[in-house]
Structure 1
Amino acid sequence: MSRTVKKRPYASPTREAKAAATRARILDAAADLFLRDGYHRSSTAAIARAAHTSEASVFAAFGSKAELLVAVVTSRVVQHPDFPLGQSPTWKAFAGRPDAEPAVQEFARVVRRAHERSWRLLAVAAAAGHDDPTVASAVAGGAMRRHADCAWLVREAFGVPASEALEATDAVWTLISVENYRHLVVERGWAPQRYESWLAAMLRAALPNA
């Protein structure tokens, strides 16, 4: 009796490295075009040309233009050493300290730095989310992850009692929104350092024990 032998999937390190390089080029090209031309005016064909690959490769790697935008935001914004705060050794060191002031100052600095590098891309995603449910879902998921990070921060680094933590979390989450940064720095012309000082002051006012 013959026995059917299952073939093992063939994995080529060279092929995988080539695919990873192509994916990286697509992400770089898409980020540049989304920022320069906006989401709707950036075609997958133009992204493929800028990445020196085929449009079929763009769809093979990411599935759709919406999923490509989500991947760009994830790689450029979400996957950063500063976040999530609860998994950072730097931020774990703030937990349990009696004085919340050092954590407030550091958090304002981290938020300012995050908005400086990402506000334009987040604005592209927010605009695209008005018309595309895939992007809208990713934007909403990002907001909820930031809320969870704020909840950890309020409890552990700021030392807010459980009875007051929910309201404080909502306040902190609202204060750090990229919309506030855009209104003050981009639209009103504030210097980023002035925004950082403002944010630190607003955080102190929002925390019951600050």
Structure 2
Amino acid sequence: MTKSDAVEAVTPGRAYESPLRRARAQATRGAVLDAAATLFVRDGYLRTTMKAIAGEARTSVETVYAQGGKSALLLACVDRALGGDEDDVPLTDRADFAAALAHPDAADVVEGYVRAFAVVGARAGGLLVAFEDAAASDTATAELWAAAEQHRRLDLRRLVVAVAERGPLAHGWSVETATDAVWLVVTPRAAHTALTTLGWSIDLMAEAVTAQLRALLLPRSTLPTSGT
């Protein structure tokens, strides 16, 4: 058997991909995304150049471009920060959110969902603020930000729907009106400000936002008493 025969026998019908090569490619991508995220937060998206990302990552500009253009890097950094990894799993399908949605009690759904969002806010807040700031002065980034905001609204709508499935919403609101109200309160910038400027812990931020959202969504008669 020749060497080529042996390779074909091991990997019939497809090219062989070395695990080592795959690991190196993943490590390179991780380094580039780490560098990009650092610079986007520190210097702002618009001021960050691909050359600067290459320097921060200690690699070539060509290697950085191989991971995508600057906007693609921004979106990849945001997705990774939101989910904590690069797995293609929607944010609210992840374990913490799914567990929150499984609670039978509406007040507990709100608490669990907010806590999951608080952890995400701590992880991704700086990047999301940099993203929003760039959108204010760059048309292409503004379009990406608008799409991201629609995704955020849909994520929050899942919370409102879950609460509505367990009883009437407060104020006689519809699901859409309640979603808009929550969307105005639960923002990346507010979370980032709470954790940085105010120096709040994740627990304190989650407690404060939970109280806000329970007041927005739950009829007064169903609100938990103080201390619960």
* Same fold at TM > 0.5: yes
Distance 1:180 1:32 in 2: 20
Q: What's the counterpart of residue 92 of structure 2?
A: 85
Change (3 A) 1:43 1:118: same
Greater mean alpha carbon deviation, residues 69-78 or residues 15-24 = 15-24
Distance 1:79 1:138 in 2: 20
Please give the per-residue CA displacement for 1:128-171, whole angstroms capped at 9, x wherever unaligned.
22233443233222211121122222122453559721111111
- Answer whether contact 1:129 1:139 (CA < 8 A) is retained: yes
2:176 maps to 1:166 = yes
Distance 1:17 1:197 in 2: 40
- Answer whether contact 1:86 1:153 (CA < 8 A) is retained: no
Please give the per-residue CA displacement for 1:168-195, whole angstroms capped at 9, x wherever unaligned.
11112222112333455544x2623443
Q: What's the counterpart of residue 66 of structure 1?
A: 71
Change (3 A) 1:53 1:86: closer
Please give the per-residue CA displacement for 1:101-132, whole angstroms capped at 9, x wherever unaligned.
21222223222222222211111111122233
Q: Equivalent residue of 1:125, what SS?
A: helix
Distance 2:57 2:72 in 1: 17
Q: What's the counterpart of residue 109 of structure 1?
A: 115
Change (3 A) 1:87 1:17: closer
Percent identical residues: 30
Give the paired residue count. 198
Distance 2:200 2:101 in 1: 30
CA RMSD of aligned residues (A): 2.9
Change (3 A) 1:100 1:125: same
Unaligned runs of 5+ residues in structure 2 are 1-12, 223-228
Following superposition of structure 1 onto structure 2, how do residues 125-164 of structure 1 map, counting pairs within 5 Å? 125-157=131-163, 159-161=166-168, 164=174
- Answer whether contact 1:155 1:165 (CA < 8 A) is retained: yes
Q: What's the counterpart of residue 176 of structure 1?
A: 186
Q: Equivalent residue of 1:33, what SS?
A: helix
- Answer whether contact 1:86 1:92 (CA < 8 A) is retained: no
Give the CA deviation at 1:15.
3.9
Q: If the length of structure 1 is used for normalisation, what is the TM-score?
A: 0.78
Q: What's the counterpart of residue 126 of structure 2?
A: 120
Change (3 A) 1:74 1:52: same
Distance 1:186 1:20 in 2: 31
Q: Equivalent residue of 1:41, what SS?
A: coil
The aligned amino acid for 1:25 is A
Give the CA deviation at 1:206.
1.0
- Answer whether contact 2:40 2:130 (CA < 8 A) is retained: yes
Distance 1:40 1:19 in 2: 27
Give the CA deviation at 1:84.
2.8
Q: What's the counterpart of residue 57 of structure 2?
A: 51
